[in-house]
Structure 1
Amino acid sequence: MSGYNRRLTNMMWRSMGESILLGFVLFGAAVYFLSTGGYLTPFSTWQEGVSFTLTMIVIVAVIGGAYGYWTSSKTTRRLEQIREVMLSLEKGNLSRTVPFLGEDEIGRLGEQLNQMTKKWEEQVTSLQRLSTNNAQLAQKAKYSAIVEERQRLARELHDAVSQQLFAISMTATAALRTLDKDFDKAQRQIYLIEEMASVAQSEMRALLLHLRPVHLEGKHLHEGLVELLQELTAKVPMDIHWEVAEDIRLPKGIEDHLFRIVQEAMSNALRHSKATRLEIKLAQPGDIIRLTIRDNGVGFNLDEKRQASYGILTMRERVNEIGGSLSIITAPEKGTRLEIRVPVLSEGGGETDGIDD
């Protein structure tokens, strides 16, 4: 039994106990006033008095318990309806509302929750509309972004790959010098060269991934993702599996952000995770877009303040811009699982068609 159900059961028992106790108090008060007013006659025998008293106690207990159960079950049913709506809100489903629950405090609580849901929906709509507007601005500023991206890649090539190649060159020179003198040491240096070359290769693949178009270039999300994944499957020594729903049509801003999140996650997997298997799933169960990315790599510690190097902060910012939520499940040597949920509202965050230049 879950903690919530246990609390509801305790509340029902407490309500029944209080009703039974109140029934005994009222019964005692009634007996007292009737006795003092002369309306009750003494029993002929004490056995008759005991039998009458026990009978009345049972009747009062049954009536009080039944009344307490009825009132508490009525309250718990209404609280359960509020809880179900709150769980739906937690999962990003904004379409579910609390039905009318009466004019008391619980009913007013349900009305306030509906008002909060409506405001939340308006905010998500505004965020998604803003993301589409940002996509339009990004399309207009595409050429300046390309220049900036080239500069960033040039810096990363110098800082990462260039340094790796320099280290490989220096280690190779040292291995040649020690090959005749100390074969074991030269062998260890050659193993180090192999490891550094593998790291440099992973860095290059990740950088080449970023050289792809920043946006979907007029394609829908399904088309862009499948094209990206097919290309990487042919070039990267990693077992890549995907399930991408074909019938998903989203506002342009949301599609661009999800596409970039997948790019960032795959770049992290190539550069940091040392994974051999990667899974990507994109589905739309109801009014929710669910994107799941999982690898079997080395994982990392979420408590450490190194999330920026794994692109987590960038992905969180993108998810927040489209009104979604990001969950990360990872641990050292346990792989990484990213789950993004984005609500899709009927009004949408803008048009789902492509944007003209």
Structure 2
Amino acid sequence: MERHEKRLTSMIWRSMGESMGLSLVLFGVILYFLSSNGYIKAFTTWQEGVRVSLTLIVIVAFIGGVYGLWHSSKMKRRLELLREVMLTLEKGNLSRTVPPIGEDEIGQLGEQLNFITKKWEDQVTSLQRLSSNNAQLAQKAKYSAIVEERQRLARELHDAVSQQLFAISMTATAVGRTLDKDFDKAQRQIQLIEEMASVAQSEMRALLLHLRPVHLEGKRLSEGLVELLQELTAKVPMAIDWELIEDVQLPKGIEDHLFRIVQEAMSNALRHSKATKLEVRLTQPSEDAVRLLIRDNGVGFDLDDKKHASYGIVTMRERVNEIGGSINLITAPGKGTRIDIRVPIMAKGGDGDGERNPDQGAACG
């Protein structure tokens, strides 16, 4: 910003100098023409000639400088406007356009920038529509996967838990027969029942863990993130703070990608960062954009070190690009990690509110 201001200031001074120089040259040419044709009388004394000449030079230079200042200030305002629009485009905000600023080269540049913005907006809209279509296709593929998963769980229930329960039942019957005859044997059988019940309970917990939904299914993004963060809070010794806007309307494709990004960021924080604090923010700074901020106080890493170009970070960048957003990753050794994602909202509602199969949340896809 400071360098930009210096350049604009230098441009103003240069324009003023050029205008003053051109004014003096034109003044000299006009004066020579008038003198050559006898329109100017000779001065009575050389002192009078010097005084009048200096006065005229100062007046002409002042007028040229004022004109140069006015012209360069006008150009500065137009260039500043172009720069502001370009900065908003860089941040992913496609709603701002360049108003008419003239018909010269700068005005044509503004029109070209508006054309590029419109083209970019159309491409982002297409990307988001494609992302939503891909999510719907993936959703249909999950239905068949759910059927296969249920069949697998049924086999495991029969092979593991059912057999354990049958063994417990048979042993309990045996306890009733031997309790009066051999008390020590009955105690061993009861201990065996406890062990088998514990094994059966462990098997059931493992199966229930598979039944728990791990996808953003049947929920809005904020609801899925709250459930995910609450579950993580209960399981890990980490202080987790979140602020999630609830009424934001997002296409399903964007919701799925942002949910996966949060999952990946949390996984990285648990596996690599050694963080004790994690912060997740989902906000809507404007009507046509959403912002996701994930920050931890972990060990961080060097972005230029290729060893840390993990698959998770690459995947996050690919997901953000697929929905037409921008990602800003800030980290350094010992400074934690900050992931700032901004996504323009080109399509309202619609795709994010489609009907979902109620069986969809019953099993892991």
Calculate the TM-score normalised by the size of structure 1.
Answer: 0.79
Deviation at 1:352, TM superposition (A): 2.2
Counterpart of 1:72 in structure 2 is 72
Deviation at 1:304, TM superposition (A): 2.1
Counterpart of 2:235 in structure 1 is 235
Moved more, 303-312 or 2-11: 303-312
In structure 2, C-alpha distance between the alignment counterparts of 1:314 and 1:210, rounded to whole Å: 25
Deviation at 1:144, TM superposition (A): 6.4
Matched, 1:120 2:120: yes
Alignment of 1:86-125 (within 5 A): 86-125=86-125
Alignment of 1:301-320 (within 5 A): 301-307=302-308, 309=310, 311-320=312-321
Deviation at 1:309, TM superposition (A): 3.4
Runs (5+) with no aligned partner, structure 2: 150-207, 358-365
Question: Does the CA-based 8 Å contact 2:303-2:309 persist in structure 1?
Answer: no
Matched, 1:284 2:284: yes
Matched, 1:28 2:24: no
Counterpart of 1:331 in structure 2 is 332
Runs (5+) with no aligned partner, structure 1: 150-207
Change (3 A) 1:90 1:67: same
Question: Does the CA-based 8 Å contact 2:281-2:293 persist in structure 1?
Answer: yes
Counterpart of 1:296 in structure 2 is 297
Question: Does the CA-based 8 Å contact 2:127-2:323 persist in structure 1?
Answer: yes
Aligned pair count reads 298
Deviation at 1:143, TM superposition (A): 5.2
Change (3 A) 1:144 1:299: farther
Counterpart residue type for residue 338 of structure 1: I
User: SS where residue 311 of structure 1 aligns?
Assistant: helix
Deviation at 1:148, TM superposition (A): 11
Counterpart residue type for residue 217 of structure 1: E
Matched, 1:262 2:262: yes
Counterpart of 1:274 in structure 2 is 274
Counterpart of 1:62 in structure 2 is 62
Question: Does the CA-based 8 Å contact 1:129-1:349 persist in structure 2?
Answer: no
Counterpart of 2:9 in structure 1 is 9
In structure 2, C-alpha distance between the alignment counterparts of 1:24 and 1:213, rounded to whole Å: 80
In structure 1, C-alpha distance between the alignment counterparts of 2:351 and 2:226, rounded to whole Å: 22
Change (3 A) 1:37 1:92: same
Deviation at 1:215, TM superposition (A): 2.8
User: SS where residue 118 of structure 2 aligns?
Assistant: helix
Counterpart residue type for residue 93 of structure 1: N
Counterpart of 1:216 in structure 2 is 216
Deviation at 1:351, TM superposition (A): 2.1
Change (3 A) 1:97 1:352: same
Counterpart of 1:205 in structure 2 is none
User: SS where residue 109 of structure 1 aligns?
Assistant: helix
Counterpart of 1:181 in structure 2 is none
User: Could you give the per-residue CA deviations for residues 116-174 of structure 1, whole angstroms, max 9, x where no partner exists?
Assistant: 0000000000011011111101111115667999xxxxxxxxxxxxxxxxxxxxxxxxx
Question: Does the CA-based 8 Å contact 2:217-2:356 persist in structure 1?
Answer: no
In structure 1, C-alpha distance between the alignment counterparts of 2:349 and 2:103, rounded to whole Å: 35
Of structures 1 and 2, the larger Rg is shown by 2
Runs of 4+ with deviation above 4 angstroms: 143-149, 208-212
Calculate the TM-score normalised by the size of structure 2.
Answer: 0.77
Question: Does the CA-based 8 Å contact 1:210-1:263 persist in structure 2?
Answer: no
In structure 2, C-alpha distance between the alignment counterparts of 1:108 and 1:273, rounded to whole Å: 49
Deviation at 1:21, TM superposition (A): 0.4
User: SS where residue 242 of structure 1 aligns?
Assistant: strand
User: SS where residue 231 of structure 2 aligns?
Assistant: helix
Change (3 A) 1:212 1:109: farther
Change (3 A) 1:147 1:293: farther
Deviation at 1:216, TM superposition (A): 1.3
Change (3 A) 1:28 1:223: same
Deviation at 1:54, TM superposition (A): 1.1
Question: Does the CA-based 8 Å contact 2:94-2:121 persist in structure 1?
Answer: yes
Counterpart of 1:351 in structure 2 is 351
User: SS where residue 285 of structure 1 aligns?
Assistant: strand
For the aligned residues, what is the CA RMSD?
Answer: 2.2
Change (3 A) 1:308 1:76: closer
Counterpart of 1:251 in structure 2 is 251
Counterpart residue type for residue 60 of structure 1: V
Counterpart of 1:158 in structure 2 is none
